[in-house]
Amino acid sequence: MPRTKFIAGNWKLNLTVEDGVALVQGLAKVVKPGVEVAVCPTALALYPVAQAAKGSAVGVGAQNAYWEEKGAFTGEISASLIKNAGAKYVILGHSERRQYFGETDATVNKRLKAVLAQGLVPIVCVGETLQERQGGQLQAVLKRQVEGAIAGFTPDQLKTLVIAYEPVWAIGTGVVATTAQAQEAHAFVRGLLRASLGGLADSLRLQYGGSVKPDNAKELLGQPDIDGALVGGAALKLADFSAIVAAAG
């Protein structure tokens, strides 16, 4: 069964509530069925953007979720609150969370459990730094991150799992992994999933992230194991993001 292409925009710490609403309203007018599309605004914009997207082909996601449902956890947002705000997706384990905020494979695993318990679609990010790639550690890093994230889960629990391969050295740098490099990493990740989850691996979507732009999207998305993109900077501009979505169609 062919895998539906999935393009998600990670707005990171960008766009006011008003700007986010305007962007998703513009997207809703141009996105057509056939490609799964989501935007992931800041937490403050989550509810208004979800309201603006309601009834359209654009889904909405959060950029992170805490593993506890409620309690004395100042500044955190639970999966149930994310769901209540109208979101369907959650990004987990982004390299910026790992680099700046102490995210580990173990905490990604805990967050994944909480997100799945609420019926949300997880986008789990994995990827190596430039130093790790140059040191020949690509496969070891991906193996540790993928296996760490899904440890303890059954295939049945992970039917909605999305993995986003993002080479850290290509995020926001303008440098893009070559098509061959991206496909090689995606094929390796799918092999890891197959070893852990069996045949389910062939139906799970793998996204590429790392300076995806309109001029490179079609070639990347044409690779056999690349089923979509997690888009950063280009997701902040209606024309650019729309063009990437169109390249997936």
Positions annotated as catalytic residues are 94, 166
Q: What are the C-alpha distances in Å from 209 to residues 38, 66, 120, 177, 234?
A: 14, 23, 21, 9, 11
**Residue whose tokens read 């999935």:** 6
Q: What does the angle CA 111 – CA 113 – CA 117 come to, to the nearest 5 degrees?
A: 120
- For residue 3, the SS3 value is coil
Cβ 95 vs Cβ 171: under 8 Å: yes
How far apart are the C-alpha atoms of 223 and 188, rounded to whole Å?
13
Q: List the structure tokens of 93.
A: 């384990």
Query: What's the one-letter identity of residue 126?
Result: V
Strands 121-126 and 36-40: unpaired
Q: Give the number of other CB atoms < 10 A from CB of residue 143.
A: 17
How far apart are the C-alpha atoms of 239 and 208, rounded to whole Å?
20
The rounded Cα 92 to chain-centroid distance in angstroms is 7
* Neighbouring residues of 197: CB distance < 8 A, sequence distance ≥ 6: 150, 155, 158, 204
